[in-house]
Amino acid sequence: MRFRLHNVFLIGVCLLTLAAGRVIGVELTDIDQIVEDNVTVVRLKQSDGLLDNRIVEKLTPKETAVLQKYRATNPPGPVPSRKRTRNQPRPLIVNKDGIRIRAGIEDAHEAILDATVIGYEKATALSTVVLGISGGQFWVSQFKDESGVTDSFWPTVLAKLEKQNPGNAVRQDPFLACIEYLKKHDKEVFWSIRVNDTHDYNVPLGDLTGWKGRMARTSDRDGNPFLVGTTVRPPRYTRSNALNFSNRDVRTKFLQTVKAGGMKLARQHRLDGVELDFTRHTVLFKSVADGGTASRYQLNLITEMVRSIRQHLDQTGLRRGRPVLLMVRIPDSVVFCRSIGIDIERWFDEGLVDLAVNSDYYVLTPWRKFADFCHRYNVRYYACLERRRIEQDVPGISLSARMSVPIRPELWRGEALNAWNNRVDGIYIFNRPAATADALHLDLHSPAELMKMNFPEIIIQTETKPHSAWTHPARWARKWN
Protein backbone atom coordinates (compact mmCIF):
# COMPACT_ATOMS: atom_id res chain seq x y z
CA MET A 1 0.00 0.00 0.00
CA ARG A 2 2.83 2.35 0.90
CA PHE A 3 4.46 1.67 -2.47
CA ARG A 4 1.22 2.40 -4.28
CA LEU A 5 0.70 5.67 -2.42
CA HIS A 6 4.25 6.69 -3.27
CA ASN A 7 3.59 6.07 -6.97
CA VAL A 8 0.30 7.96 -6.83
CA PHE A 9 2.13 10.91 -5.25
CA LEU A 10 4.77 10.94 -7.98
CA ILE A 11 2.15 10.74 -10.71
CA GLY A 12 0.27 13.61 -9.10
CA VAL A 13 3.38 15.76 -9.04
CA CYS A 14 4.01 15.03 -12.73
CA LEU A 15 0.41 15.89 -13.64
CA LEU A 16 0.56 19.16 -11.73
CA THR A 17 3.80 20.04 -13.48
CA LEU A 18 2.29 19.36 -16.89
CA ALA A 19 -0.86 21.26 -15.98
CA ALA A 20 1.23 24.26 -15.12
CA GLY A 21 2.73 24.05 -18.60
CA ARG A 22 6.24 23.78 -17.29
CA VAL A 23 9.11 21.50 -18.16
CA ILE A 24 12.41 21.32 -16.38
CA GLY A 25 14.53 24.11 -17.85
CA VAL A 26 15.17 27.85 -17.71
CA GLU A 27 12.40 30.15 -16.50
CA LEU A 28 11.74 33.11 -18.78
CA THR A 29 11.72 36.24 -16.62
CA ASP A 30 13.44 38.88 -18.79
CA ILE A 31 13.55 39.61 -22.53
CA ASP A 32 17.38 39.68 -22.39
CA GLN A 33 17.30 35.91 -21.86
CA ILE A 34 15.84 35.35 -25.34
CA VAL A 35 18.37 34.52 -28.03
CA GLU A 36 15.95 33.78 -30.88
CA ASP A 37 12.28 33.03 -31.35
CA ASN A 38 9.95 31.46 -33.88
CA VAL A 39 6.27 30.61 -33.80
CA THR A 40 6.79 27.30 -31.97
CA VAL A 41 10.00 27.55 -29.94
CA VAL A 42 11.84 30.23 -27.98
CA ARG A 43 15.54 29.79 -27.19
CA LEU A 44 16.81 31.03 -23.82
CA LYS A 45 20.23 31.57 -22.32
CA GLN A 46 21.25 29.26 -19.48
CA SER A 47 23.59 30.08 -16.63
CA ASP A 48 26.33 27.95 -18.16
CA GLY A 49 26.22 29.86 -21.43
CA LEU A 50 24.41 27.16 -23.40
CA LEU A 51 20.89 27.47 -24.73
CA ASP A 52 17.58 25.94 -23.75
CA ASN A 53 14.64 25.33 -26.10
CA ARG A 54 11.21 26.15 -24.67
CA ILE A 55 8.01 25.27 -26.50
CA VAL A 56 5.93 28.43 -26.81
CA GLU A 57 2.57 26.83 -26.04
CA LYS A 58 3.92 25.40 -22.75
CA LEU A 59 5.08 28.73 -21.31
CA THR A 60 3.39 29.92 -18.13
CA PRO A 61 1.20 33.05 -18.29
CA LYS A 62 4.01 35.14 -16.74
CA GLU A 63 6.51 33.78 -19.28
CA THR A 64 4.08 34.42 -22.14
CA ALA A 65 3.80 38.06 -21.06
CA VAL A 66 7.60 38.40 -21.22
CA LEU A 67 7.65 36.78 -24.67
CA GLN A 68 4.93 39.13 -25.95
CA LYS A 69 6.98 42.09 -24.72
CA TYR A 70 9.97 40.74 -26.65
CA ARG A 71 7.90 40.16 -29.78
CA ALA A 72 6.66 43.73 -29.78
CA THR A 73 9.99 44.69 -31.33
CA ASN A 74 11.19 41.24 -32.49
CA PRO A 75 8.43 39.44 -34.40
CA PRO A 76 8.84 35.63 -34.52
CA GLY A 77 10.44 34.13 -37.57
CA PRO A 78 8.80 31.40 -39.66
CA VAL A 79 9.63 27.76 -39.12
CA PRO A 80 11.83 26.82 -42.09
CA SER A 81 10.94 23.69 -44.03
CA ARG A 82 13.38 20.81 -44.42
CA LYS A 83 13.37 21.34 -48.19
CA ARG A 84 14.26 25.02 -47.91
CA THR A 85 17.00 24.31 -45.36
CA ARG A 86 18.36 21.47 -47.51
CA ASN A 87 18.64 23.73 -50.56
CA GLN A 88 20.70 26.45 -48.88
CA PRO A 89 24.08 26.97 -50.63
CA ARG A 90 26.96 24.99 -49.14
CA PRO A 91 29.89 25.64 -51.50
CA LEU A 92 32.51 24.21 -49.15
CA ILE A 93 32.12 21.58 -46.42
CA VAL A 94 34.94 20.25 -44.24
CA ASN A 95 34.83 16.98 -42.31
CA LYS A 96 37.06 17.50 -39.29
CA ASP A 97 37.63 13.73 -38.98
CA GLY A 98 37.68 13.63 -35.18
CA ILE A 99 38.34 15.89 -32.21
CA ARG A 100 42.01 16.68 -31.58
CA ILE A 101 44.13 17.97 -28.69
CA ARG A 102 46.92 20.49 -29.23
CA ALA A 103 50.13 19.45 -27.47
CA GLY A 104 51.81 21.95 -25.19
CA ILE A 105 48.62 23.65 -23.96
CA GLU A 106 47.94 22.71 -20.35
CA ASP A 107 44.35 23.89 -20.24
CA ALA A 108 42.42 20.92 -21.66
CA HIS A 109 39.52 23.10 -22.77
CA GLU A 110 41.73 25.47 -24.77
CA ALA A 111 43.92 22.63 -26.06
CA ILE A 112 40.93 21.01 -27.73
CA LEU A 113 39.36 24.18 -29.12
CA ASP A 114 42.72 25.33 -30.49
CA ALA A 115 43.39 22.03 -32.26
CA THR A 116 39.88 21.42 -33.50
CA VAL A 117 37.92 24.53 -34.46
CA ILE A 118 39.80 27.78 -33.83
CA GLY A 119 40.68 29.18 -37.26
CA TYR A 120 37.61 27.99 -39.12
CA GLU A 121 35.93 31.35 -38.49
CA LYS A 122 38.51 32.95 -40.83
CA ALA A 123 37.55 30.72 -43.78
CA THR A 124 34.74 32.83 -45.20
CA ALA A 125 33.95 30.35 -47.98
CA LEU A 126 33.47 27.54 -45.45
CA SER A 127 29.76 27.05 -44.85
CA THR A 128 29.63 23.76 -42.94
CA VAL A 129 31.86 21.84 -40.53
CA VAL A 130 31.28 18.13 -39.91
CA LEU A 131 32.49 16.96 -36.49
CA GLY A 132 32.98 13.45 -35.16
CA ILE A 133 34.19 12.10 -31.82
CA SER A 134 37.09 9.65 -31.84
CA GLY A 135 36.55 9.23 -35.53
CA GLY A 136 32.82 8.97 -34.88
CA GLN A 137 32.68 5.27 -33.90
CA PHE A 138 29.26 4.91 -32.32
CA TRP A 139 30.41 2.30 -29.79
CA VAL A 140 32.81 4.80 -28.17
CA SER A 141 31.38 6.87 -25.33
CA GLN A 142 30.19 10.00 -27.10
CA PHE A 143 29.55 12.61 -24.42
CA LYS A 144 30.16 13.45 -20.80
CA ASP A 145 27.02 13.39 -18.75
CA GLU A 146 25.76 16.55 -17.04
CA SER A 147 27.90 15.95 -13.94
CA GLY A 148 31.07 15.59 -15.99
CA VAL A 149 32.00 12.52 -13.94
CA THR A 150 31.49 9.69 -16.40
CA ASP A 151 33.82 8.93 -19.26
CA SER A 152 33.92 11.15 -22.30
CA PHE A 153 36.05 10.55 -25.39
CA TRP A 154 39.72 10.09 -24.53
CA PRO A 155 39.09 10.25 -20.75
CA THR A 156 42.69 9.37 -19.91
CA VAL A 157 44.10 12.19 -22.02
CA LEU A 158 41.66 14.71 -20.58
CA ALA A 159 42.46 13.63 -17.03
CA LYS A 160 46.19 14.04 -17.69
CA LEU A 161 45.71 17.55 -19.11
CA GLU A 162 43.56 18.56 -16.18
CA LYS A 163 46.12 17.19 -13.71
CA GLN A 164 48.85 19.29 -15.37
CA ASN A 165 46.90 22.43 -14.66
CA PRO A 166 44.84 22.03 -11.45
CA GLY A 167 41.82 24.26 -11.18
CA ASN A 168 41.58 24.80 -14.91
CA ALA A 169 39.79 21.63 -15.93
CA VAL A 170 37.46 21.06 -18.85
CA ARG A 171 34.53 23.37 -18.16
CA GLN A 172 32.26 21.69 -20.68
CA ASP A 173 32.27 18.51 -22.71
CA PRO A 174 34.88 19.27 -25.43
CA PHE A 175 32.68 18.16 -28.32
CA LEU A 176 29.85 20.41 -27.19
CA ALA A 177 32.30 23.28 -26.71
CA CYS A 178 33.45 22.87 -30.33
CA ILE A 179 29.86 23.02 -31.57
CA GLU A 180 29.13 26.17 -29.59
CA TYR A 181 32.32 27.83 -30.88
CA LEU A 182 31.39 27.15 -34.50
CA LYS A 183 27.79 28.28 -34.00
CA LYS A 184 29.07 31.48 -32.41
CA HIS A 185 30.87 32.17 -35.69
CA ASP A 186 27.83 31.35 -37.85
CA LYS A 187 29.02 28.01 -39.16
CA GLU A 188 26.62 25.18 -39.90
CA VAL A 189 27.51 22.07 -37.89
CA PHE A 190 26.81 18.39 -38.58
CA TRP A 191 27.56 15.50 -36.24
CA SER A 192 29.22 12.65 -38.13
CA ILE A 193 28.88 9.10 -36.88
CA ARG A 194 30.57 6.18 -38.60
CA VAL A 195 28.34 3.20 -39.12
CA ASN A 196 31.11 0.59 -39.05
CA ASP A 197 34.59 2.00 -38.58
CA THR A 198 37.34 -0.65 -38.51
CA HIS A 199 40.36 1.46 -37.57
CA ASP A 200 40.70 -0.62 -34.41
CA TYR A 201 41.59 -3.66 -36.51
CA ASN A 202 45.08 -3.81 -35.00
CA VAL A 203 43.64 -4.25 -31.49
CA PRO A 204 43.19 -7.95 -30.61
CA LEU A 205 39.49 -8.74 -30.34
CA GLY A 206 39.99 -9.76 -26.72
CA ASP A 207 41.49 -6.35 -25.90
CA LEU A 208 38.68 -4.21 -27.30
CA THR A 209 36.99 -2.14 -24.59
CA GLY A 210 33.50 -0.91 -23.81
CA TRP A 211 30.40 -2.10 -25.60
CA LYS A 212 32.25 -3.42 -28.64
CA GLY A 213 34.72 -5.25 -26.43
CA ARG A 214 31.93 -7.08 -24.63
CA MET A 215 30.46 -8.11 -27.95
CA ALA A 216 33.84 -9.21 -29.29
CA ARG A 217 34.27 -11.62 -26.38
CA THR A 218 30.90 -13.26 -27.04
CA SER A 219 30.74 -16.44 -29.07
CA ASP A 220 28.34 -19.25 -29.87
CA ARG A 221 28.41 -22.43 -31.92
CA ASP A 222 28.80 -20.46 -35.17
CA GLY A 223 31.38 -17.99 -33.91
CA ASN A 224 30.73 -14.39 -32.86
CA PRO A 225 27.17 -13.24 -33.67
CA PHE A 226 28.06 -9.54 -33.42
CA LEU A 227 31.14 -9.33 -35.65
CA VAL A 228 31.74 -10.31 -39.28
CA GLY A 229 34.58 -12.58 -38.20
CA THR A 230 36.90 -13.69 -35.43
CA THR A 231 40.62 -14.21 -35.11
CA VAL A 232 40.10 -17.90 -35.76
CA ARG A 233 37.53 -17.36 -38.54
CA PRO A 234 38.38 -14.07 -40.28
CA PRO A 235 36.17 -12.90 -43.17
CA ARG A 236 37.45 -13.33 -46.70
CA TYR A 237 37.45 -9.69 -47.81
CA THR A 238 37.54 -7.31 -44.85
CA ARG A 239 38.57 -7.05 -41.19
CA SER A 240 37.29 -9.27 -38.40
CA ASN A 241 36.41 -6.41 -36.06
CA ALA A 242 33.65 -4.99 -38.30
CA LEU A 243 30.20 -5.20 -36.72
CA ASN A 244 27.54 -7.43 -38.27
CA PHE A 245 24.33 -5.45 -38.77
CA SER A 246 22.33 -8.61 -39.28
CA ASN A 247 22.38 -8.77 -35.50
CA ARG A 248 19.48 -6.97 -33.83
CA ASP A 249 21.58 -5.87 -30.83
CA VAL A 250 24.05 -4.11 -33.13
CA ARG A 251 21.28 -2.23 -34.92
CA THR A 252 19.60 -1.35 -31.63
CA LYS A 253 22.83 0.05 -30.17
CA PHE A 254 23.42 2.13 -33.28
CA LEU A 255 19.89 3.55 -33.23
CA GLN A 256 20.10 4.36 -29.52
CA THR A 257 23.36 6.25 -30.00
CA VAL A 258 22.20 8.27 -33.01
CA LYS A 259 18.82 9.14 -31.51
CA ALA A 260 20.16 10.11 -28.10
CA GLY A 261 23.02 12.16 -29.51
CA GLY A 262 20.92 13.76 -32.24
CA MET A 263 18.25 14.88 -29.80
CA LYS A 264 20.77 16.22 -27.26
CA LEU A 265 22.87 18.08 -29.81
CA ALA A 266 20.00 19.44 -31.89
CA ARG A 267 17.80 20.65 -29.05
CA GLN A 268 20.46 21.98 -26.69
CA HIS A 269 23.35 22.90 -28.94
CA ARG A 270 21.82 24.05 -32.25
CA LEU A 271 23.16 21.16 -34.30
CA ASP A 272 22.07 21.52 -37.94
CA GLY A 273 22.30 17.91 -39.08
CA VAL A 274 23.55 14.36 -38.66
CA GLU A 275 25.86 12.56 -41.07
CA LEU A 276 25.78 8.77 -41.34
CA ASP A 277 29.16 7.76 -42.72
CA PHE A 278 28.86 4.42 -44.55
CA THR A 279 32.30 4.74 -46.17
CA ARG A 280 34.40 4.25 -43.03
CA HIS A 281 34.00 1.44 -43.64
CA THR A 282 31.79 -0.01 -46.35
CA VAL A 283 30.91 -3.28 -44.65
CA LEU A 284 27.60 -4.08 -42.96
CA PHE A 285 27.05 -7.83 -43.11
CA LYS A 286 29.08 -10.97 -42.49
CA SER A 287 27.74 -12.63 -45.64
CA VAL A 288 29.02 -9.74 -47.78
CA ALA A 289 32.38 -9.74 -45.97
CA ASP A 290 32.68 -13.39 -46.94
CA GLY A 291 32.15 -12.58 -50.61
CA GLY A 292 28.38 -12.57 -51.02
CA THR A 293 25.85 -9.90 -51.96
CA ALA A 294 23.32 -8.31 -49.63
CA SER A 295 19.88 -9.91 -49.73
CA ARG A 296 16.56 -8.08 -49.98
CA TYR A 297 16.01 -8.85 -46.29
CA GLN A 298 19.34 -7.25 -45.38
CA LEU A 299 18.59 -4.20 -47.53
CA ASN A 300 15.31 -3.82 -45.65
CA LEU A 301 17.09 -4.00 -42.28
CA ILE A 302 19.32 -1.02 -43.07
CA THR A 303 16.49 0.90 -44.75
CA GLU A 304 14.32 0.49 -41.65
CA MET A 305 17.21 1.69 -39.51
CA VAL A 306 17.66 4.86 -41.61
CA ARG A 307 13.89 5.39 -41.74
CA SER A 308 13.73 5.28 -37.95
CA ILE A 309 16.52 7.86 -37.70
CA ARG A 310 14.75 10.11 -40.20
CA GLN A 311 11.52 9.99 -38.23
CA HIS A 312 13.33 10.76 -34.99
CA LEU A 313 15.17 13.74 -36.51
CA ASP A 314 11.90 15.09 -37.92
CA GLN A 315 10.27 14.85 -34.48
CA THR A 316 13.25 16.62 -32.91
CA GLY A 317 13.08 19.31 -35.58
CA LEU A 318 9.37 19.93 -34.96
CA ARG A 319 9.95 20.19 -31.23
CA ARG A 320 12.71 22.76 -31.57
CA GLY A 321 11.12 24.66 -34.47
CA ARG A 322 13.90 24.04 -37.02
CA PRO A 323 14.59 20.92 -39.12
CA VAL A 324 17.51 18.56 -38.53
CA LEU A 325 19.03 17.48 -41.84
CA LEU A 326 20.30 13.99 -42.63
CA MET A 327 23.42 13.56 -44.75
CA VAL A 328 24.82 10.21 -45.87
CA ARG A 329 28.35 9.48 -47.00
CA ILE A 330 28.15 6.58 -49.42
CA PRO A 331 29.90 4.94 -52.36
CA ASP A 332 28.91 6.73 -55.59
CA SER A 333 27.31 3.75 -57.31
CA VAL A 334 23.74 2.53 -56.91
CA VAL A 335 24.80 -1.02 -57.83
CA PHE A 336 27.74 -1.06 -55.41
CA CYS A 337 25.63 0.37 -52.59
CA ARG A 338 22.93 -2.24 -53.11
CA SER A 339 25.48 -5.04 -53.15
CA ILE A 340 26.73 -4.17 -49.65
CA GLY A 341 23.28 -3.47 -48.14
CA ILE A 342 22.54 0.20 -48.92
CA ASP A 343 19.33 0.66 -50.91
CA ILE A 344 20.15 4.27 -51.73
CA GLU A 345 17.55 4.60 -54.49
CA ARG A 346 14.79 3.62 -52.07
CA TRP A 347 16.13 6.00 -49.41
CA PHE A 348 16.02 8.86 -51.90
CA ASP A 349 12.61 7.87 -53.21
CA GLU A 350 11.16 7.86 -49.67
CA GLY A 351 12.68 11.26 -48.92
CA LEU A 352 14.83 9.92 -46.07
CA VAL A 353 18.01 11.75 -47.10
CA ASP A 354 18.68 15.47 -47.62
CA LEU A 355 22.35 15.54 -48.62
CA ALA A 356 24.67 12.94 -50.15
CA VAL A 357 28.47 12.80 -50.26
CA ASN A 358 30.32 10.33 -52.45
CA SER A 359 32.96 7.96 -51.10
CA ASP A 360 36.57 9.07 -50.86
CA TYR A 361 38.83 6.01 -51.21
CA TYR A 362 37.70 5.48 -54.80
CA VAL A 363 35.41 6.96 -57.45
CA LEU A 364 33.12 4.49 -59.20
CA THR A 365 30.80 6.76 -61.19
CA PRO A 366 31.39 9.97 -63.18
CA TRP A 367 30.49 13.07 -61.18
CA ARG A 368 27.67 14.05 -63.53
CA LYS A 369 25.98 10.66 -63.59
CA PHE A 370 25.70 10.46 -59.82
CA ALA A 371 24.82 14.16 -59.50
CA ASP A 372 21.94 13.71 -61.94
CA PHE A 373 20.78 10.67 -59.98
CA CYS A 374 20.71 12.64 -56.72
CA HIS A 375 19.00 15.65 -58.28
CA ARG A 376 16.27 13.41 -59.71
CA TYR A 377 15.16 12.92 -56.10
CA ASN A 378 15.88 16.51 -54.94
CA VAL A 379 18.90 15.38 -52.91
CA ARG A 380 21.90 17.73 -52.80
CA TYR A 381 25.16 16.11 -53.92
CA TYR A 382 28.69 17.00 -52.75
CA ALA A 383 31.94 15.81 -54.28
CA CYS A 384 34.38 14.46 -51.70
CA LEU A 385 38.05 15.34 -52.24
CA GLU A 386 40.41 13.08 -50.32
CA ARG A 387 44.17 13.39 -50.47
CA ARG A 388 44.97 9.69 -50.61
CA ARG A 389 43.00 9.40 -53.83
CA ILE A 390 43.91 12.70 -55.47
CA GLU A 391 47.65 12.55 -54.79
CA GLN A 392 48.32 8.87 -55.08
CA ASP A 393 51.03 9.54 -57.67
CA VAL A 394 53.45 11.13 -55.16
CA PRO A 395 56.63 9.06 -55.69
CA GLY A 396 58.83 7.65 -52.96
CA ILE A 397 56.61 8.62 -50.02
CA SER A 398 54.74 6.28 -47.71
CA LEU A 399 51.00 6.60 -47.27
CA SER A 400 51.27 7.99 -43.73
CA ALA A 401 54.07 10.42 -44.63
CA ARG A 402 52.08 11.66 -47.62
CA MET A 403 49.49 13.21 -45.29
CA SER A 404 52.03 15.67 -43.82
CA VAL A 405 53.78 16.97 -46.96
CA PRO A 406 52.47 20.08 -48.76
CA ILE A 407 49.57 19.33 -51.07
CA ARG A 408 49.68 19.87 -54.83
CA PRO A 409 47.22 22.76 -55.41
CA GLU A 410 46.89 22.10 -59.13
CA LEU A 411 45.46 18.63 -58.53
CA TRP A 412 42.97 19.81 -55.91
CA ARG A 413 41.82 22.71 -58.06
CA GLY A 414 41.51 20.45 -61.08
CA GLU A 415 39.50 17.88 -59.15
CA ALA A 416 37.19 20.61 -57.83
CA LEU A 417 36.70 22.22 -61.24
CA ASN A 418 35.98 18.84 -62.78
CA ALA A 419 33.32 18.25 -60.14
CA TRP A 420 31.76 21.72 -60.52
CA ASN A 421 31.60 21.29 -64.29
CA ASN A 422 29.58 18.13 -63.71
CA ARG A 423 26.74 19.64 -61.66
CA VAL A 424 27.75 18.94 -58.07
CA ASP A 425 26.27 21.22 -55.39
CA GLY A 426 29.48 21.77 -53.47
CA ILE A 427 32.91 20.49 -52.47
CA TYR A 428 33.46 18.32 -49.38
CA ILE A 429 37.00 17.98 -47.97
CA PHE A 430 37.91 14.95 -45.88
CA ASN A 431 41.16 14.04 -44.12
CA ARG A 432 42.62 17.50 -44.59
CA PRO A 433 41.04 18.75 -41.39
CA ALA A 434 43.24 21.48 -39.90
CA ALA A 435 41.49 24.85 -39.55
CA THR A 436 44.53 26.47 -41.15
CA ALA A 437 44.80 23.82 -43.87
CA ASP A 438 46.01 24.95 -47.26
CA ALA A 439 43.08 23.22 -48.96
CA LEU A 440 40.73 25.82 -47.45
CA HIS A 441 42.44 28.60 -49.38
CA LEU A 442 42.50 27.26 -52.95
CA ASP A 443 39.18 28.72 -54.15
CA LEU A 444 37.75 25.20 -54.36
CA HIS A 445 34.33 26.66 -53.55
CA SER A 446 34.31 28.96 -56.58
CA PRO A 447 34.06 27.52 -60.11
CA ALA A 448 34.30 31.08 -61.48
CA GLU A 449 37.71 31.60 -59.86
CA LEU A 450 38.91 28.15 -60.87
CA MET A 451 37.94 28.83 -64.49
CA LYS A 452 40.34 31.80 -64.56
CA MET A 453 43.31 29.49 -63.95
CA ASN A 454 45.21 27.87 -66.78
CA PHE A 455 47.37 24.78 -67.22
CA PRO A 456 49.87 24.02 -65.70
CA GLU A 457 48.47 25.89 -62.69
CA ILE A 458 45.43 23.63 -62.76
CA ILE A 459 45.16 20.02 -63.87
CA ILE A 460 41.72 18.54 -64.40
CA GLN A 461 42.17 15.04 -63.10
CA THR A 462 40.02 12.41 -61.44
CA GLU A 463 42.08 9.41 -60.48
CA THR A 464 40.33 6.08 -59.98
CA LYS A 465 43.20 3.59 -59.81
CA PRO A 466 43.48 2.08 -56.30
CA HIS A 467 46.88 2.54 -54.68
CA SER A 468 46.47 -0.16 -52.03
CA ALA A 469 44.30 -3.20 -51.33
CA TRP A 470 42.01 -1.44 -48.85
CA THR A 471 41.20 1.33 -51.36
CA HIS A 472 40.02 -1.17 -53.95
CA PRO A 473 36.20 -1.53 -54.17
CA ALA A 474 36.46 -5.33 -54.23
CA ARG A 475 37.95 -5.16 -50.74
CA TRP A 476 34.46 -4.30 -49.47
CA ALA A 477 32.10 -5.92 -51.99
CA ARG A 478 33.55 -8.82 -53.95
CA LYS A 479 30.57 -9.47 -56.22
CA TRP A 480 29.43 -5.99 -57.09
CA ASN A 481 29.88 -6.15 -60.89
Domain assignment present for 347: yes
Q: Which amino acid is residue 384, in one-letter code?
A: C
Domain assignment present for 222: yes
Full residue range of the structural domain in which residue 429 is found = 90-475
Domain identity same for 212 and 359: yes
- pLDDT reported for residue 339: 93
Structural domains counted in the chain: 2
Domain identity same for 442 and 306: yes
Q: Are the C-beta atoms of residues 328 and 275 closer than 8 Å to each other?
A: yes
Domain identity same for 317 and 389: yes
- pLDDT reported for residue 139: 60
Domain identity same for 322 and 380: yes
Domain identity same for 63 and 143: no
Domain assignment present for 156: yes
Domain identity same for 129 and 184: yes
Domain identity same for 294 and 363: yes
Domain identity same for 300 and 417: yes
Once rounded to an integer, what is the mean pLDDT over residues 200-210? 73
DSSP assignment letter at 136 = G
Q: Are the C-beta atoms of residues 223 and 304 closer than 8 Å to each other?
A: no
Banded model confidence at residue 371, pLDDT cuts 50, 70, 90: very high
Domain assignment present for 323: yes
pLDDT digits (tens, 9 = 90+) for 278-322: 998 889 999 999 989 999 999 999 999 999 999 999 988 888 888
Domain assignment present for 11: no
Domain identity same for 143 and 223: yes
- Is the pLDDT at 4 greater than 60? The verdict is no
pLDDT digits (tens, 9 = 90+) for 112-165: 788 888 888 888 889 999 988 765 566 665 555 444 433 444 555 566 666 666
pLDDT above 70 covers what percent of the chain?
76
Domain identity same for 59 and 96: no
Sign of CA dihedral 325, 326, 331, 336: negative
Query: To the nearest whole number, what is the mean pLDDT of the chain?
Result: 80
Domain assignment present for 2: no
Instruction: Report the CATH number at residue 26.
Output: 3.10.50
Once rounded to an integer, what is the mean pLDDT over residues 261-288? 88
Once rounded to an integer, what is the mean pLDDT over residues 239-243? 84
Domain assignment present for 361: yes
Domain assignment present for 316: yes
Among 157-171, 204-218, 245-259, the least confident range: 157-171
Question: Cα(28)–Cα(59) distance, rounded to whole angstroms?
Answer: 8
| Interstrand relation of 273-277 and 188-194 (parallel, antiparallel or unpaired) | parallel
Domain identity same for 322 and 411: yes
pTM over 0.85: no
Q: Which amino acid is residue 339, in one-letter code?
A: S
pLDDT digits (tens, 9 = 90+) for 408-420: 888 889 999 999 9
Q: Are the C-beta atoms of residues 187 and 128 closer than 8 Å to each other?
A: yes
Domain identity same for 29 and 161: no
Instruction: Report the CATH number at residue 383.
Output: 3.20.20.70
How many alpha carbons lie under 13 Å from residue 400 in its C-beta half-sphere? 0
- pLDDT reported for residue 150: 39
